[in-house]
Structure 1
């Protein structure tokens, strides 16, 4: 049986997308199957108190197909990923924190505008500063995670060269000539 062109394109897209800035998935409600996979494509995951995630693929006679399993292994390790996938276990906000799958449980739950406001405030601690530096930081971390060590080291050195002496570096030096 042949996949549809749309399914092939979706698979290609999910394998090659690299978000240039830091990303966060905010789970409010239930994220099952493909929704659970989508959360793994983000750098961070935040959940509301009543939310849950389940990788239900096995109940559908499937395995994740959009990169969710590979990313889950990188997020949690192979043993924990295998448990979540093979048991199709319910992961509530508390368990997600315990497993290292999510970074924080938000206090808001029902009001979407409050949930998003809280998530923005949480994310702001990682995204303050020049976008060029945040992009560079994301590139070196992605390289460190995905490339062999030697290639990651070369990438880091190359990216360092793009920010050294750049506007953000010069402004920082002018503000704080010495580190304390």
Structure 2
């Protein structure tokens, strides 16, 4: 697939995906969401890729929101379909992807941009980053999971204030809220994310996938996360990675995981 709005580059065990619409501050439109889905699916299916990093092109924005011009004339049903399709194709897809996805927030992450970052497994921000969900200032609410994931990450009260005021917070406040894990300079952002990614790549891909599934289960209605943990824990015992990891530990050597 030829991409018009994103760049995807794989080096060794890491795939870097950049939203590349600088003249629109990397705003998400339907085509960009489809391209991201395709690139993420391709990276996930590539056995060499152990970690995916998502960032924005340029120095101003990660993703400054959704492309409002695309849906300004939508009716109720079209709005519902826009949210449902976007959540299924990209936001829920990322959250449940078995390959870890890191958001490298290199500037504005507003509206759909913050929702994209929150769907990733964790977030690192540059010190110039600004984050918020300003949708109520446009007469709408976050539709790509923002009303659900933001309270999970920072608590109900803080999420209510941020959404209802349509305000923005800077990187350090986001760090204090637990919305991002780390803050770096802009120059250090990608190298820092790659350093974390390299630590992840030393571990068992099978176990990492199982851990993501078990952690996510805690936030799913009607699902007992403890039961999922027990099931995934047991499943690990039947993998080649478990045999290799335990053997390497007992033999005092570095494990060479196959991902099987």
TM-score, normalised on structure 2? 0.60
How far 1:165 sits from its partner (Å)? 4.1
- CA 1:69/1:4 → structure 2, altered by over 3 Å: closer, same or farther? closer
Out of 201, 205, 227, the position equivalent to 1:131 is 205
1:168 equivalenced with 2:241 (yes/no): yes
The answer for the alignment partner of 1:141 in structure 2 is: 215
* Cα deviations by residue, 1:50-76 (Å, 9 ceiling, x for unpaired): 111121111111110111110111111
Quick one: distance in 2 between partners of 1:13 and 1:27? 21
> Which secondary structure does the structure 1 equivalent of 2:78 belong to?
coil
Out of 71, 75, 83, the position equivalent to 2:161 is 83
Q: Which has the higher contact order (CA 8 A, sep 6+)?
A: 1
> Which secondary structure does the structure 2 equivalent of 1:31 belong to?
strand
How far 1:148 sits from its partner (Å)? 4.2
Greater strand share, 1 or 2? Answer: 2
Greater helix share, 1 or 2? Answer: 1
1:68 equivalenced with 2:139 (yes/no): no
Check whether the contact 1:48–1:93 (CA below 8 A) recurs between aligned residues. Answer: yes
The answer for the alignment partner of 1:22 in structure 2 is: 100
1:101 equivalenced with 2:179 (yes/no): yes
How far 1:88 sits from its partner (Å)? 1.7
- CA 1:5/1:139 → structure 2, altered by over 3 Å: closer, same or farther? closer
How far 1:147 sits from its partner (Å)? 4.6
> Which secondary structure does the structure 2 equivalent of 1:47 belong to?
strand
The answer for the alignment partner of 1:121 in structure 2 is: 195
Quick one: distance in 2 between partners of 1:68 and 1:98? 19
The answer for the alignment partner of 2:69 in structure 1 is: none
1:54 equivalenced with 2:132 (yes/no): yes
The answer for the alignment partner of 1:10 in structure 2 is: 86
Quick one: distance in 2 between partners of 1:124 and 1:104? 16
Moved over 6 A (4+): none
How far 1:10 sits from its partner (Å)? 2.2
Check whether the contact 1:29–1:48 (CA below 8 A) recurs between aligned residues. Answer: yes
How far 1:146 sits from its partner (Å)? 1.9
TM-score, normalised on structure 1? 0.84
Out of 120, 126, 139, the position equivalent to 1:42 is 120
Check whether the contact 2:127–2:171 (CA below 8 A) recurs between aligned residues. Answer: yes
> Which secondary structure does the structure 1 equivalent of 2:136 belong to?
helix
**Which ranges in structure 2 are unaligned for 5 or more consecutive residues?**
1-74, 252-260
- CA 1:144/1:128 → structure 2, altered by over 3 Å: closer, same or farther? farther
- CA 1:128/1:100 → structure 2, altered by over 3 Å: closer, same or farther? same
Q: Size of the alignment, in residue pairs?
A: 174
How far 1:157 sits from its partner (Å)? 2.1
How far 1:153 sits from its partner (Å)? 2.6
RMSD: 2.4
